Amino acid sequence: MSEQRLYLAEAQSPRSERRRRQRQQQSSCCSCMVVVISLIVALVALRGPLANWWRERRPSPGQQRSGAMFPLNLQIDANSYYRYELVRIDLRVVKRDGQPVKLAQPPVIVVRRDDEVVITIGGVRKLEPHYDEDAGTYHCYWPIPWQAEAGHYLAEAQMSIDEVGAWPWKVSPRKRTQTPEDKEPAIEGSGYCLARTRFQIKNRPPPEVPLGLCAATWEADFPHGSVRRPDGTSGDWRAMLDWCEFIGADCLWFRGAVTETFHGPLFLEKPFATENLETVPRLAAAAHRRGLKFGTWAVAYATYPRDTNKNKPAYDYAQDISRSTGTISEINFISLLDPLRVEHLTDFCKQMQNTNNVDFIGLDYLRSKYGYEMVDTFAREMPVALPASWGNMTQNQQWLYVAGIVEKERKTRSELDLYEHWNWWRAHRTAEIVKQIITEGQITKPVWVFVLSWMHGAQHGQDVAMLTDAGVGLVCPMLYQMPSQEHFEATLRGWQDYMRVGVVNIAAGDQVDDYWHQRSRRPAAPELLYQRMMAAHLKLIDPKAPLAGRTVGGFWHDISRAAVRGNLGPYPGREWALAGAAAFSQIRQSWQVYPLQVEMTVPPKAVIGGSFAAQIAIENITDTDVENIQILIENTAHVKPSGSGKKTVPKLGAGELIKVPMRVKITQANRARANRFMIAVRIKWPADDYGPTVRDDLPRTLVMMKYIQGT
């Protein structure tokens, strides 16, 4: 709905107001009834001639009314928008004869909500429209603020007018000249016109996701050789399912589509290596036989190898520019502007939609790197402050200007504003791509996206709210490549400052990698993995919100690093897996989707060679008895149980709590790990109906893990 109004600079005088009222009063008299009857008789007599006269005077359907009725017309391109969309605003300024006008000073445009001007990306309050000479119109774009509140908004354009008397006016209490009583008063004075149109911002509520969803990933190529099992023995590709069961994952996520040329060239007709794609149906079926759900993802915009694009499909690749020489070079990322890549990703997702036993579809590297080929489109669409000479710059100069700010480590306030525009625009573009994939591929299976965690993804053009609006069901922040614990803590604070409860489903995860856990020995690197996964679960959204502020699940990345080749440090893959299993167990305990709540306490220090007790507290939180609860001390490096390492609780009644001591000992010192050792306990229980809140599709295994210092 649009509104158009004219305003004079001053109000009508009291004397003019009295004259207006007098003219209105003179329209009635004591002979009103006689006049009315006479008019009715005359109209009946002249009905035929009047009708013929009206038909002759009425313009034909294709005939335009002469002259414009209002100097400013404002339009937007839709009635409602999701948060990843750009609001396009078009304005047409015309003379009284309908001809377009280009003003020395363009109209002022703002967006309001509840009568307040909305401040959007980069601190923008007012929009400066650009004039299109060919179309004779102004236009501009309004980027929707990050996580904007859903509701009604109003776009408003305003400009001053000089010849107010040239436009049609309704009788209104405005300034008029003092004229004779028998003449229609003229309108004079300066004024302004105001055009408004309303639109709605929508958000898509995150879909329901099973609480406590925990996935183990496999990022490497499908293994044809030997794969270590968690117990250290060798197996084939089925060993990856053994790891899923060991860690207590309810889902295996497998990298299915990747543009890599290690096994031969690829073409636009064959954009993905067949190595993994061909194994998806077999692996998905095997996962289902083990009671696991299965998901597969595509590496969306990165390609391999990183150092060359030789033998890769003829995509439009992302561009970088040397800050010193101005030389432009392409990198191994495909441009977000290439429509063919969107088409190929859609084909992959559609294929997985139609593949039996595939439960989830994912996207990784859904982002650009550098991508300065997008500068022209970015500058045209975003209301970003650019140099006055921008239109006279060469392409290289424009790219260098944007790259110089984006890559600059310390930015001024105005540079931070441009940086925010750049990040928003790229996030908008990636969300548009996801929406297109889901819509054109007719994807109904849950879609997840891996996102980078620094600056809650915005630094790399990813926004979780936009992705949710585009149709993503689960967003998975990667707690990877943290150069320090301080950096990790800052990352958490960035998410907390940005996120709101109920906006998006999140399952955060960490990777098996000693280097990116600072080769930590105190705490041990797997211990740090556990701590970071738990910190993300409890603090990533809102640490003050009891349950609603927690993530719905988590993921452990990835099996191949523990089972084939990875940077494990002095810790076996089994130990990294147990740390992930303990995180999974705690996430599920927080959602109370298990019938049991378990805690383990151990002393902070223990004498090497001596035994000590690990106290296991088990509580039945259901209204049903839990029978035959098995407690097992896990085999970890340099730790052995004192005795069998197994105990059974025959029955634990509803609401009952029991404490079970399990004695263990540290067998020897290990300076490589700073004498820090893992104590891990696994609890199992039989299948049964434990009530509506307990998920019966989850692995019935719960792991408690603590590290202690050997002395």
Q: Assign residue 636 the CATH number of its domain.
A: 2.60.40.10
Nearest to 382 by CA among 432, 424, 336, 319: 424
CA dist 404 → 278, 371, 398, 507, 527 (Å): 44, 13, 10, 35, 40
Q: Buried b vs exposed e over 433-462: b needs ≥16 C-beta within 10 Å?
A: bbbbbbeebebebbbbbbbbbbebbbbbbb
CA dist 256 → 151, 219, 283, 619 (Å): 40, 9, 11, 41
Q: DSSP states of 285-297 as a string?
A: HHHHHTT-EEEEE
CA dist 675 → 139, 549, 638, 705 (Å): 67, 36, 10, 16
Helix 525-539 crosses helix 485-498 at what angle (to 10 degrees)?
10
| 31 pLDDT more than 50 | no
Number of domains making up the chain: 2
Tokens for 277, please give them: 């794609």
Q: Is residue 516 part of a domain?
A: no
Q: How far apart are CA 295 and CA 507, in angstroms?
A: 14
pTM: predicted TM-score of the whole model, two decimal places: 0.88
Q: How far apart are CA 239 and CA 561, in angstroms?
A: 13
Coil, strand or helix: which one is 704?
strand
Q: Is residue 136 part of a domain?
A: yes
Q: Is residue 177 part of a domain?
A: yes
Q: Is residue 86 part of a domain?
A: yes
**pLDDT, tens digit, 9 for 90 and up, residues 665-710:** 999 999 999 999 999 999 999 999 999 999 999 999 999 999 999 9
| pLDDT reported for residue 193 | 86
Contact, 387 vs 344, CB < 8 A? no
Q: How many CB atoms lie within 10 A of CB 644?
A: 8
Coil, strand or helix: which one is 627?
strand
Q: How far apart are CA 238 and CA 227, in angstroms?
A: 8
Q: Is residue 46 part of a domain?
A: no
| 41 pLDDT more than 90 | no
Q: How many CB atoms lie within 10 A of CB 284?
A: 24
Q: Which of 34-43, 246-255, 312-321 has the lowest mean pLDDT?
A: 34-43
**pLDDT, tens digit, 9 for 90 and up, residues 385-443:** 999 999 999 999 999 999 999 999 999 999 999 999 999 999 999 999 999 999 999 99
| 14 pLDDT more than 80 | no
Residues 6+ apart with CB under 8 A from 650: 627, 628
Q: How many CB atoms lie within 10 A of CB 268?
A: 13
Contact, 422 vs 415, CB < 8 A? no
| pLDDT reported for residue 185 | 58
Residue scoring higher pLDDT (521 or 52): 521
End-to-end CA distance of the chain: 76
Q: How many CB atoms lie within 10 A of CB 707?
A: 22
Q: Is residue 657 part of a domain?
A: yes
Residue 152: which domain range?
72-202
**pLDDT, tens digit, 9 for 90 and up, residues 471-516:** 999 999 999 999 999 999 999 999 999 999 999 999 999 999 999 9
Tokens for 397, please give them: 């100069």
Half-sphere exposure of 269 (CA within 13 A, CB side): 0
| pLDDT reported for residue 294 | 98
| pLDDT reported for residue 192 | 81
Q: How far apart are CA 638 and CA 571, in angstroms?
A: 11
Q: How far apart are CA 571 and CA 519, in angstroms?
A: 11
CATH number of the domain bearing residue 178? 2.60.40.1930
Q: How far apart are CA 299 and CA 563, in angstroms?
A: 22
Nearest to 636 by CA among 527, 538, 547, 560: 527
Average pLDDT, the chain: 90
- The last residue of one of the domains, among 151, 175, 202, is 202
| 607 pLDDT more than 50 | yes
- The last residue of one of the domains, among 202, 218, 247, is 202
- The last residue of one of the domains, among 202, 236, 262, is 202
Tokens for 386, please give them: 């650019």
Q: How far apart are CA 484 and CA 524, in angstroms?
A: 14
Q: How far is CA 101 from the centre of its chain?
A: 41
Q: Is residue 681 part of a domain?
A: yes
| pLDDT reported for residue 180 | 52
Q: Is residue 143 part of a domain?
A: yes
